[in-house]
Amino acid sequence: MRVLLTGGAGFIGQHVHEQLVAEGHEVVVFDLRDGGRDVRDAEAVAAAVEGVGTVVHLAAKVGLGVDLNDIDDYVSHNSLGTAVLLKSMGRVRNLVYASSMVVYGEGRYDCDEHGQVAPGPRRVEDLQAGRFEPPCPYCGAFLRPGFVTEDARLDPRNAYAASKLNGEHLAAAWARETGGRVTALRFHNVYGPGMPRNTPYAGVAAIFRSALERGETPRVFEDGRQRRDFVHVRDVATAVTLAAQALPQQPAFTAYNVGSGTVTTIGEVATELCTAYDAPAPIVTGDYRLGDVRHITASSDCIKADLSWKPTYDLATGLTELVHGR
């Protein structure tokens, strides 16, 4: 299989490149870091697509997207970039699209009385008072966080999230109109070797590591009990490779969650890293960001069942490897 890999020089892209080559595939890397080639350049993309059978689209502006001054930049790089790529793909009918768990917004919540519910926006007065758990929107009762499945309501809550979901919609429209096949992979918090100091993929893991390397104690927002899923970049690369290989047998559009399946709190990540660096315990600040979600973890049962994928790294081993460079 000859594959065009956009974003192939990036953090995740380098591992995907390595995995695809190890599986015997020919890879054409297209990356802004590699000769300044941009997916918004239709002529350059069309030339790169020539002769390939599958496109893996990782190139994107990543981040939290909390500053509206960047909203046009996210739309330009992610939405427009995906549109130009799709328009330039010619006869290529197979696409793996790198999406994100941020398309869900908050995760799944259940109320003992009202069943599965969607909590409303977080309120400043609650956060200031240290009430970090979202209440039931109907009765105000405590909610139990759970695992999001791919058929959950999508609720992007910042510019980055909106642009990634827009990319899914554009790719699905392309598949319907061309007879193509798209698999969108909703990555969770990706970490591992080669992770840049400021990467938003792993978010707090990168921030905490940078603090420790400066000799500072990591500072944890809220009460540190926010639930996340951290998945190793090599497991992500395997998921991408399996998805690319399976495309000819897939429906027109499929979305898969890609996570470790292990619930980890932000405080636990900070503690694991402090242990690995032999540093003092993290500081839990009670500070907050209004645009943050409280809990987001998802079930990856579908990709396990359909593509026989399974994560192989636990967080403690992965973080130790990251710290010690193994």
Report d(CA 112, CA 140) in Å as an integer: 11
CA angle 226, 229, 234 (to 5 degrees): 150
Reported as a single tens digit per residue, the pLDDT across 150-200 is: 999 999 988 999 999 999 999 999 999 999 999 999 999 999 988 876 655
Reported as a single tens digit per residue, the pLDDT across 201-254 is: 556 888 898 899 999 999 999 999 999 999 999 999 999 999 999 999 999 999
CA 18 and chain centroid, separation: 19
Residue 130 confidence (pLDDT) above 80: yes
- Going by their DSSP bridges, the two strands 115-117 and 108-111 should be labelled as antiparallel
The CATH number of whichever domain residue 303 belongs to comes to: 3.40.50.720
Q: What is the dihedral of CA 103, 183, 58, 167, to 10 degrees?
A: -50
Write b or e for each residue in 68-86: b if 16 or more Cβ atoms lie within 10 A of its Cβ, otherwise e.
Answer: eebeeebbebbbbbbbbbb
CA 49 and chain centroid, separation: 25
Give 295's contacts (C-beta < 8 A, 6+ positions apart): 106, 107, 109, 145, 226, 227, 228
Q: How many domains does the chain have?
A: 1
Token duo for residue 122: 């977080």
Higher per-residue pLDDT: 51 or 210: 51
Q: What is the dihedral of CA 210, 297, 100, 73, to 10 degrees?
A: -60
At residue 71 the predicted structure's pLDDT band, cuts being 50, 70 and 90, is: very high
Q: In terms of C-beta density within 10 A (0-12 exposed, 13-18 middle, 19 or more buried), how is residue 284 classed?
A: middle
- Average pLDDT for the chain: 93
Reported as a single tens digit per residue, the pLDDT across 33-49 is: 877 789 999 999 999 99
Give the structural domain span for 42: 2-324
Dihedral angle sign, alpha carbons of residues 174, 200, 258, 116: negative
Residue 322 confidence (pLDDT) above 90: no
Residue 66 confidence (pLDDT) above 60: no
Asked if 52 and 92 count as a contact pair (C-beta separation under 8 A), the reply is yes
